[in-house]
Amino acid sequence: MTTLILKPVSPAERSQWIDAFHAADPTLTIIDWDDPSVPPETVDYAFAWQPEGRRIAAMPNLRAVISPAAGLDHILRDPAFPRDMPLYRMGTQETVDQMGDYVCWAALTLVRDAWRWAEAQARQEWSPWLNQTRTAATTTVGVMGLGELGRATALRLKALGFQVCGWARSAHHIDGVDTFAGDDAFIPFLNRTDILVSLLPATSQTAGILGKKTFAHLRPQASIISVGRGSQLIAQDLVDAINSNVLRGAVLDVVPQEPLPQDSPLWTCRGVTISPHMASEASYRDRAAYAVSVIHQIEAGKQPALRYDPAKGY
Ligand code: NDP
């Protein structure tokens, strides 16, 4: 009997997760994270969103933790998380496809200044603007992070007709995409970019990367798409850059504080479109099937992909 302890984002989701896990593997025993009668030594695997500090470390026979999200910051914020515990990030095809859809929508939204239509509609005002010269073909999207999501998103943007460049820590080859690697190539990468997308993980190196030092090197009237993690965005720098015409607009799915506080200047900043951290939110069915496949691989003595590397920090 293999056991999985489950901690969803909200208790209201529990029954849907249990159904999804049972559809993927009816033999799996699902344990409730909040059930005090469960001895910690009986837990084999954990599928947990924001596990409270020290809970994972207190499960002595745990074989792996599987994150319901591609980002792992919600787990690694626990200082007691055991450094050698196998930890896997989410990586389903739905996750990849939804992110690709979102970034393509956001890039086209920015090219056409679609926020102005929304603003005019709210005023019930029909006021076209003329001499629109911007197209996908004349716009270069720069994707920071060329991992599972960044690589596929870069290819989707290319297929849509954008010029695309990408930047990561190590060298990558992606057909039709100009790639840049490492800190020395960061400014040359920014110099080419009209729309900057962050698909970086939350690490100490990426914190605050969407700030004025970066914005200063982008092409004139550039825009931002924030889909990595909120810790990467310096909100006041973005507002200042838009108000001073350094930047033209932004689409933000992740912000420094979530939910975004009522008094945040981002809500009312001209040219900013906000979504509530749901650029990529794969179905219960898809994510449970992925988690079960990770468990089956480990039980068969294999090494599943997408394992967290403590040396790299992602
Ligand atoms: P991966 O780990 O597969 O890829 C991370 C990429 O970032 C790699 O290309 C890596 O470089 C690059 N990178 C990391 N650190 C640096 C650095 N300091 N400088 C330059 N490049 C760096 O992650 P995923 O593609 O699966 O996911 C990316 C992030 O997207 C997640 O961590 C999560 O925060 C976010 N996300 C957001 C969602 C949303 O709904 N908004 C949903 C899902 C994910 P290299 O290739 O050289 O290792």
- Residue 223 is predicted with a pLDDT of 98
Q: How far apart are CA 286 and CA 133, in angstroms?
A: 41
Residues 133 and 171 both lie in one domain = yes
Residues 99 and 130 both lie in one domain = yes
The verdict on whether 229 is a catalytic residue reads yes
Residues 122 and 262 both lie in one domain = yes
Cis amide leading into 259 (omega within 30): yes
Question: Is it the case that residue 129 has pLDDT exceeding 90?
Answer: no
Q: Is 100 in the pocket of ligand 1 (CB under 6 A)?
A: no
With 0-12 CB in 10 A as exposed, 13-18 as middle and 19+ as buried, what is 305?
A: exposed
ipTM: 0.99
How many domains are there within the chain? Answer: 2
> Is position 310 within any domain?
no
Question: Is it the case that residue 25 has pLDDT exceeding 90?
Answer: yes
Residues 144 and 200 both lie in one domain = yes
pLDDT tens-digit readout, 70-112: 999 999 999 999 999 999 999 999 999 999 999 999 999 999 9
Q: How far apart are CA 132 and CA 114, in angstroms?
A: 12
Q: Give the number of the atom of ligand 1 that is nearest the alpha carbon of residue 72.
A: 32
Q: Which of 95, 177, 290, 314 gets mutated to test ligand 1 (max ligand atoms within 8 A of its CB)?
A: 314
Q: Looking at 89, 229, 248, 287, which residue is catalytic? A: 229
- Residue 130 is predicted with a pLDDT of 86
Residues 107 and 82 both lie in one domain = no
Residues 184 and 260 both lie in one domain = yes
Residues 202 and 135 both lie in one domain = yes
Q: Is 277 in the pocket of ligand 1 (CB under 6 A)?
A: yes
pLDDT tens-digit readout, 290-313: 999 999 999 999 999 999 999 999
- The whole-model pTM stands at 0.96
With 0-12 CB in 10 A as exposed, 13-18 as middle and 19+ as buried, what is 41?
A: exposed
pLDDT tens-digit readout, 209-245: 999 999 999 999 999 999 999 999 999 999 999 999 9
Helices (H), the chain: 14-24, 73-76, 93-111, 114-122, 148-159, 186-191, 212-215, 235-243, 284-299
The verdict on whether 173 is a catalytic residue reads no
- Residue 132 is predicted with a pLDDT of 86
* Alpha-carbon distances of 298 from 70, 86, 92, 183, rounded to whole Å: 19, 10, 17, 36
**Residue 145 alpha carbon to ligand 1 centre in Å:** 5
